[in-house]
Amino acid sequence: MTHNFDPTTLREYDIRGIIGKTLGEADAAAIGRSFGTRVRRNGGKRVAVGFDGRLSSPGLEAALVEGLNAVGIDAVRVGVGPTPMLYYAVYELGCDGGVMITGSHNPPDYNGFKMMLGHKPFFGADIRDLGVLAASGDWETGAGGSAHVDIMDRYVDRLVQGYDAKPFNIAWDCGNGVAGPVIERLVKRLPGKHITMFTDVDGNFPNHHPDPTDEANLEDLKRVVAENGLDFGLAFDGDGDRLGAIDSQGRVVWGDQLLGILAEPVLKELPGATIIGDVKASRALFDRIAELGGTPLMWKTGHSHIKAKMQEIGAPLAGEMSGHIFFKHDYYGFDDGIYAAVRLIRAVSALGGSLTALKDAMPVMINTPELRFPCSEERKFIVIDEVLARLAASGATVDRTDGARVTTADGWWLLRASNTQDVLVARAEAGNEAALGRLMAQINEALAASGVAAVNAGH
């Protein structure tokens, strides 16, 4: 017995596809067999399984469990909930791995799988290996069991452990993703006034798309904060592992800015500690970490890359522009948007009590959103190599951590290959519009020299 996956589904950080086209229940069963085989060969026996609120998730979960059982793995089924609740279950229930069925912030017809083996992220070559095992039918055999465990209340208990903040008035937008039921339980435990929004889990996402990094998805949150005179607003993605925030004036506090706030109490306790930000983060973040007495480290974009680097160097905190925030300080080291929200409230309380004042104090930088340029799977990494070679010949100041991040007197620009789509991703940041224009011209020139059309080059 063998199985071949659609090649587009085995991604760098996870498995992801379109239901009925590139991903279905037969794939889920094969993932169960392949991943379960890896767990067995790693000396393990129990795997935690959770799923999000997408319409296809229950069917995928049942098929996955069937596949795990067929290779002798016991499934610990924690049911519907956020991805970080599944990660928490792996730690707290002593499991040997975990699988979360989630399409994250993708459109409703997508779904996918995020995995961890032991306490380590499972990505890159590990994911490709699942395809090799399936194609050759190199699976263990056995007969595993299945048990349902309701862990949500224990997870909420852990979120509020050590809570020490003053009362705030906050709006919480769950976007009909799986953070909703957790947030409803959490706010009952917090002082202050809390308005919850779209907490019903609905895989059709009837109100807005659950992606807090797209400002268009924060309009409802801005309205509720303004109408009720609240202190700030918090928003989550579809599976609850990313955080978005706005201040009392409706201004977005971006992922790197959140990390700058969260770093301050951590560095008070751990002077000199290394705080990791991804290559898309503002220079202002790395400057701020250094100013606070920390050691800033720029690393590759992607939750799996960041988690692996944190474990390697023992960093207490890390974050990405996308809103993935990772706390090892007083927590487990995985990305948890809900725990990050709780820590943000605590940090704002400790730093004077106003997220708006903290936003006011941040340096004003002018930057582009993420710009995406179509480029084939075969060509995208080659283009980056070509760009790096030309930059090296020109004597430019380049950081090669993940693509090319070029620093000039005007600011910086980034060009990297996406690990999840057939695109090149660019971003630029400067102190004024004229400087940003010059940086954008450099990006367009770099793309044109490699034959990539500079579409979407406005900002």
Tens of pLDDT, residues 104-142 = 888 899 999 999 999 999 999 999 999 999 999 999 999
The predicted model gives 10-18 an average pLDDT of 91
pLDDT-based confidence at 15, cuts 50/70/90?
very high
Rounded to two decimals, the pTM is 0.95
pLDDT of residue 105: 83
What does the pLDDT look like over 246-278, one tens digit per residue? 999 999 999 999 999 999 999 999 999 999 999
| d(C-alpha 21, C-alpha 411), whole Å | 43
pLDDT of residue 137: 97
Return the residue matching tokens 């409703």.
108
Fold of 15-150: Alpha-D-Glucose-1,6-Bisphosphate; Chain A, domain 3 (3.40.120)
Are the C-beta atoms of residues 250 and 336 closer than 8 Å to each other?
A: no
| The pair of three-digit structure tokens given for residue 16, joined into one six-digit string | 């992801």
Q: Is the pLDDT of residue 191 over 70?
A: yes
Q: How far are the Cα atoms of 110, 150, 241, 379, 388 from residue 450, in angstroms, in the given order?
A: 32, 53, 36, 10, 11
- Same fold: 15-150 with 366-449: no
The predicted model gives 8-17 an average pLDDT of 91
**Closest of 319, 324, 321 to residue 414, by C-alpha:** 321
Q: Helix, strand, coil shares of the chain as percentages rounded to 5?
A: 40, 25, 40
Are the C-beta atoms of residues 423 and 373 closer than 8 Å to each other?
A: yes
Instruction: Give the list of residues 6+ apart from residue 452 with CB closer than 8 angstroms, or none.
Output: 373, 375, 383, 424
| d(C-alpha 63, C-alpha 65), whole Å | 5
Mean pLDDT score of the chain? 96
pLDDT of residue 12: 85
Instruction: Give the list of residues 6+ apart from residue 222 with CB closer than 8 angstroms, or none.
Output: 233, 246, 250
Are the C-beta atoms of residues 49 and 78 closer than 8 Å to each other?
A: yes
Return the residue matching tokens 């630029």.
428
pLDDT of residue 454: 76
Percent of the chain at pLDDT exceeding 70:
99
Active site residues: 104
Are the C-beta atoms of residues 102 and 54 closer than 8 Å to each other?
A: yes
| d(C-alpha 275, C-alpha 295), whole Å | 6
| The pair of three-digit structure tokens given for residue 318, joined into one six-digit string | 């890390």
| The pair of three-digit structure tokens given for residue 40, joined into one six-digit string | 């067995």
Fold of 154-360: Alpha-D-Glucose-1,6-Bisphosphate; Chain A, domain 3 (3.40.120)
| The pair of three-digit structure tokens given for residue 302, joined into one six-digit string | 């992607």
Got the DSSP string for 38-104?
HHHHTT--EEEEEE-S-TTHHHHHHHHHHHHHHTTPEEEEEEE--HHHHHHHHHHTT-SEEEEE--T
What does the pLDDT look like over 192-239, one tens digit per residue? 999 999 999 999 999 999 999 999 999 999 999 999 999 999 999 999
- Per-residue burial over 392-417, b if 16 or more Cβ lie within 10 Å, else e, is eeeeeebeebbbbbbeeebbbbbbbb
Burial of residue 52, with CB atoms counted within 10 A of its CB: 0-12 exposed, 13-18 middle, 19 or more buried: buried
Q: Is the pLDDT of residue 288 over 50?
A: yes
Instruction: Give the list of residues 6+ apart from residue 49 with CB closer than 8 angstroms, or none.
Output: 61, 64, 65, 68, 75, 76, 77, 78, 86, 98, 99, 100, 101
Number of other CB atoms surrounding residue 79 within 10 Å = 17
Are the C-beta atoms of residues 177 and 210 closer than 8 Å to each other?
A: yes
pLDDT of residue 455: 59
What does the pLDDT look like over 67-93, one tens digit per residue? 999 999 999 999 999 999 999 999 999
Q: Could you say which of 3.40.190.10, 3.30.310.50, 3.40.309.10, 1.10.150.130 is the CATH number of the domain covering 366-449?
A: 3.30.310.50
pLDDT of residue 459: 42
Are the C-beta atoms of residues 192 and 169 closer than 8 Å to each other?
A: yes
Q: Is the pLDDT of residue 457 over 50?
A: no
pLDDT of residue 458: 44
Instruction: Give the list of residues 6+ apart from residue 105 with CB closer than 8 angstroms, or none.
Output: 209, 210, 211, 237, 238, 239, 242
79 beta partners: 50
Domain range summary for the chain, segments of one domain joined by +: 15-150, 154-360, 366-449
**Closest of 190, 192, 194, 200 to residue 171, by C-alpha:** 194
pLDDT-based confidence at 329, cuts 50/70/90?
very high
**Closest of 334, 207, 319 to residue 196, by C-alpha:** 207
What does the pLDDT look like over 354-403, one tens digit per residue? 999 999 999 999 999 889 999 998 899 999 999 999 999 999 999 999 99
Got the DSSP string for 384-452?
HHHHHHHHHHHT-EEE-TTSEEEEETTEEEEEEE-SSSSEEEEEEEESSHHHHHHHHHHHHHHHHHTT-
Q: Is the pLDDT of residue 29 over 80?
A: yes
